[in-house]
Amino acid sequence: MSDSMNYSKKLTSLRPKPTNKPTRSLLTETESDRGRIIQSAAIRRLQQKTQVYPLETNAAVRSRLTHSLEVQQTGRFLAQTILTKFANSHQLAAVGLAGNETVFTNIVEMSCLMHDVGNPPFGHFGEAAISNWIKTKAETCHHLAVGTPSKLFTDTLLPDLVVFEGNAQGLRVIHQLQNLNLTHSQLAALMKYTRPPYQSKPAKTAKDYYRKKKPGYYYSEAQLVKDIQSSLGIDEGCRFPLVYIMEAADDISYCIADLEDAVDKGILSYRDLKYYLQSVWSEYAGSGNHYLTNIINQASSQSQQEPHRFIVKLRTRLVSDLVEYAADRYLLQHQAVFDGSLDEPLIDGDSHQHLALKTLKTIAIRHVFTSKEKETPELKGYSALNGLLDLYQPLLELDTQSFTDIVFEDQEQHFLEQRLFHRLSPKQTSAYKRAVSHLADSAYSPQEQKDLEWYHRARLIIDYISGMTDHFVLEEFQNLSAI
C-alpha cells in the first residue's frame, strides 16, 4: 500500500467560509454537514420533482427524493463494504481510515442524498428545454441589455450559460443558493465531472474523456473548485475518491428502480420484464454467459405464487452482487481512485455486472422511456418551461443600471420587470447580490463588469426556473399567462 494513499489528506473540516465555532472533531463536522443537508429546502423540493414519470400522482412511484434515499442507502452499504474489505486486509490504519470509518460513510451518504439537487423540473427533458432556450435567446437579450460583448463574455460566460447541466447546478444550489457552507470534502464528493462548460469536451480517445464528458461546475463556482482542489490535493481534471462510490450507488439504484416503476404503472408486465431481461442479456452477453440468466431464474423460482416478488428478489441479488463487485474494484484500482484519475466507473465495461446494468438500462430506453405515460407530461412541461422563460425574458433585456435599480432600490419606472423580480426567491436574489457586490471595485474593465453582471442575472433566472417543482412550473405558467 502506497504511503501516498492517506485519507487524512482528503477528509477535512475546512469550509469555504470561516466559522467562529470552537474546534470540533472531524466526525462532529460531518454530522453538522448531515444536519444542514437533510434540513435544506433543496432536499425537500426533490419530493415533487420527476425521477422518470413527470406529474406522477401514484405515491408508490419514485420521485427524485425517494430515488435519492435509495441511492443513499446503497451508498452506505457500498461504503461499509469497502471499509470492511480494508479492515479484513489490515489496511484501515495504513490508508488513514482507522477511527474515521463513520466520517467516510457520512460523506458518501450525504453526497448520494444530494446528487440530484441540481436537476430541473421534468428531469433531463427540463435540462434540454432550459439549454435550448438560452442558446436561442441569450445573445439577443445580452445585446439589448449590454451592447457589444467583451472577449470574456464571448469566450467564457456565454458558453458557460448555454449548457444547463444538473450536476453543475447541484454544486451551485448547495453552495451559492442554499449557502450551506459544507466542508470541502463533502462538496468534493458531489462533483462527478471535472470541467466547466466553457472548456471543450475531450475526444473519446482522451485519457480523461469519462471524467470530462459533461460539465461538472459553472464559471460562478470556478474559484470554489480551485480552493477545494488546493485544500484536498486534487489535481486538475481529477476526482475526489468518494465520488466513485456515489456514482456506483446511483447506477445500481436507478437501473433497477426504473423497471420496477414501469411495472407498477402497468407499462410492463412481469412476463414482459422477464422476457426482455432474457432477450437483451443474450444480445449483449451471448449464449455462453449465464450470469443474469441464473439470477432471473432464481428470482422466478422463488416468486412463482407471488409475481410481484420477482423484482424484489431480482433487486436484492443484483444490489448485493453489484456492491460487492464495486467494492472489490475500489480496492483493486485504489491508487487511481485515490488520485481521482480512474477514467471509468467502478462497475466497468468488461464485467458481467456492467453487462447486467447495461441490460437494465437498455430495456428502460427501449420500452419505458418512449412510453406515452412519460412523453406526454414531458411535452407539457417543455411548453410551460419555455413559456415561463419567455415571461421572464424582459428582466434579461433591461440595461445594467435599470436592473440594478430594481434589485437594490426597488424603483418602479419599469413596473413589469419590477413585479417579475418580486416573484424570484430571496435566496436566489441574495446569491445574485453577493456575486455582483464587488464588481465595481474589481480589476475588470467597465464592459467586463457589465457582462459579468448580466451573466449573474441570467444565472438568477435559470436558478429560479430550474429550482421549481414539476407541478409549480405548470401552476406558475398558468398564473402568469392567464390561461
pLDDT at position 266? 81
pLDDT at position 1? 40
pLDDT at position 371? 67
Three cell numbers written together for 141: 437579450
Three cell numbers written together for 420: 417579475
∠ Cα 242 336 212 (to 5°): 75
DSSP assignment letter at 214: S
Three cell numbers written together for 29: 463536522
∠ Cα 19 430 29 (to 5°): 25
On whether the CB atoms of residues 6 and 92 are closer than 8 A, the answer is: no
pLDDT at position 309? 86
Helix 270-285 to helix 352-367 angle (10° resolution) is 130
Q: Find the catalytic residue in 15, 62, 67, 184.
A: 67
Q: Find the catalytic residue in 15, 62, 64, 115.
A: 115
Domain spanning 242-367 has what CATH number?
1.10.3410.10
Helix%, strand%, coil% for the chain, nearest 5: 65, 0, 35
Run of H or E including 300:
helix 291-301
Q: Nearest CA to 228 among 243, 212, 239, 218?
A: 239
Three cell numbers written together for 354: 456492467
Q: Is 258 a catalytic site residue?
A: no
Cβ within 8 Å of residue 229, ≥6 positions away: 235, 236
∠ Cα 141 146 151 (to 5°): 100
Domain spanning 7-12+26-119+165-232 has what CATH number?
1.10.3210.10
Q: Find the catalytic residue in 290, 366, 419, 422.
A: 419
Q: Is 334 a catalytic site residue?
A: no
Per-residue pLDDT of the chain (483 residues; tens, 9 = 90+): 445 799 999 999 999 998 877 789 999 999 999 999 999 999 998 987 765 545 455 555 668 898 899 999 999 999 999 999 999 999 999 999 999 999 999 999 999 999 999 999 988 889 999 999 999 999 999 999 999 999 999 999 999 999 999 999 999 999 999 999 999 999 999 999 999 999 999 999 999 999 999 999 999 999 999 999 999 999 999 999 999 999 999 999 887 888 888 888 788 888 899 999 999 999 999 888 899 999 999 988 887 767 778 888 988 999 999 999 999 999 999 999 999 999 999 998 778 999 999 999 999 888 887 766 667 777 888 889 999 999 999 999 999 999 999 999 988 889 899 999 999 999 999 999 999 999 988 999 999 999 999 999 999 999 999 999 988 998 999 999 876
Q: Is 116 a catalytic site residue?
A: yes
Task: Name the burial class of residue 148, with classes exposed (0-12), middle (13-18) and buried (19+) by CB atoms within 10 angstroms of its CB.
Answer: exposed
Asked whether the CA dihedral 414, 416, 417, 422 is positive or negative, the reply is: positive
On whether the CB atoms of residues 340 and 234 are closer than 8 A, the answer is: yes
DSSP for 68-99, written as a single string: HHHHHHHHHHHHHHHHHHHHHTT-TTTTT-TT
Cα–Cα distance, 214 to 194 (Å, whole number): 8
CA atoms lying within 13 Å on the CB side of residue 338: 19
pLDDT at position 3? 53
Q: Is 343 a catalytic site residue?
A: no
Q: Find the catalytic residue in 250, 251, 451, 470.
A: 250
Q: Is 317 a catalytic site residue?
A: no
On whether the CB atoms of residues 320 and 326 are closer than 8 A, the answer is: no
Domain map (residue ranges) of the chain = 7-12+26-119+165-232, 127-161+374-481, 242-367
CA distances in angstroms from 397 to 65, 98, 378, listed in the order given: 36, 57, 28
Helix 372-397 to helix 470-481 angle (10° resolution) is 50
